[in-house]
Amino acid sequence: MLTLGVNIDHIATIRQARRTVEPNPVAAAILAELGGANGITTHLREDRRHIQEMDVRLLRKTVRTHLNLEMAPTDEMIVIALDIKPDYVTLVPEKREEVTTEGGLDIVRNYYRLKEIVAHLQSADIPVSLFIDAQENQIQASADIKAQFIELHTGKYADAPNARIRERELEFLRQGCEQALDLGLRINAGHGLTYWNIYPITCLPGIEELNIGHTIVSRAVLVGMERAVREMKLAMRGEF
């Protein structure tokens, strides 16, 4: 069964815009689970621009599905992951200047360091997924360093400027899935997926979970707007 991991980071982005207490990403995770999310995904960034360490600790206590912690492969984050023990970790590259995670991890270039980190997390019973582009050498290297999962980066597919390039990117993803399956890797995918571009991705072979954030949070804000305004009108009458 193809499952959905809901990334709740941008609930925290809205909260951090005012450095206040609402909206609460933990409440959003509970509601996402009520809506059928099979997992909750969250990225604790080095610059703490949205999710804070306390959020991850609370999510660990409240999430009833599974908690996927996205993090950069840094010493600081490894200590936090070993302490919080998410259900699995997805290692992602991180640059301070980027708006969101831009490319996949370069496993080939950082082979020995990543191999050591994967083994370290796995020795604490934390399965590891590697967020990578669907490139043959990166997929092979992910299997060689014995990660259990890869997460294929769907950003280039999502951002394709036209149908021809979108088809080509979809084909790279399909080939990546086939190679990963042959190597015994489990496959997740995500980044940039929306209500409009998701369906072809669900038809790729072997994908277990899609991690989706921005489009769901965006839609939640809009579909909730009418009710939120109606409730403010009630509050103005002292009736909320």
Catalytic residue ranges: 43, 70, 191
Residue placing its CB nearer to ligand PXP in the complex, 133 or 151? 151
Shortest separation between residue 240's beta carbon and ligand PXP, angstroms = 32
Shortest separation between residue 105's beta carbon and ligand PXP, angstroms = 9
Exposed / middle / buried, residue 110 (Cβ in 10 Å: 0-12, 13-18, 19+) = middle
| Number of Cα atoms under 13 Å in the Cβ half of residue 64 | 10
Residue placing its CB nearer to ligand PXP in the complex, 15 or 43? 43
Integer Rg of the chain from CA: 18
Q: Which residues bind ligand PXP (CB under 6 A)?
A: 7, 9, 43, 70, 90, 92, 100-101, 131, 151, 190-193, 211-215
d(CA 160, CA 5): 23
Are 180 and 139 contacting, i.e. CB atoms less than 8 angstroms apart? yes
The region, left, alpha or beta by phi > 0 then psi within -120 to 50, assigned to residue 48 is: left
Tabulate helix, strand, coil % of the chain (nearest 5): 50, 15, 35
Residue placing its CB nearer to ligand PXP in the complex, 26 or 149? 149
Residue placing its CB nearer to ligand PXP in the complex, 223 or 236? 223
Are 73 and 113 contacting, i.e. CB atoms less than 8 angstroms apart? yes
The answer to whether the bond into 23 is cis (omega within 30° of 0) is yes
Residue placing its CB nearer to ligand PXP in the complex, 169 or 227? 169
Are 43 and 67 contacting, i.e. CB atoms less than 8 angstroms apart? no
Cα separation values, 170 from 29, 151, 189, Å: 30, 15, 12
> 3-class SS at 147?
coil
Shortest separation between residue 120's beta carbon and ligand PXP, angstroms = 20
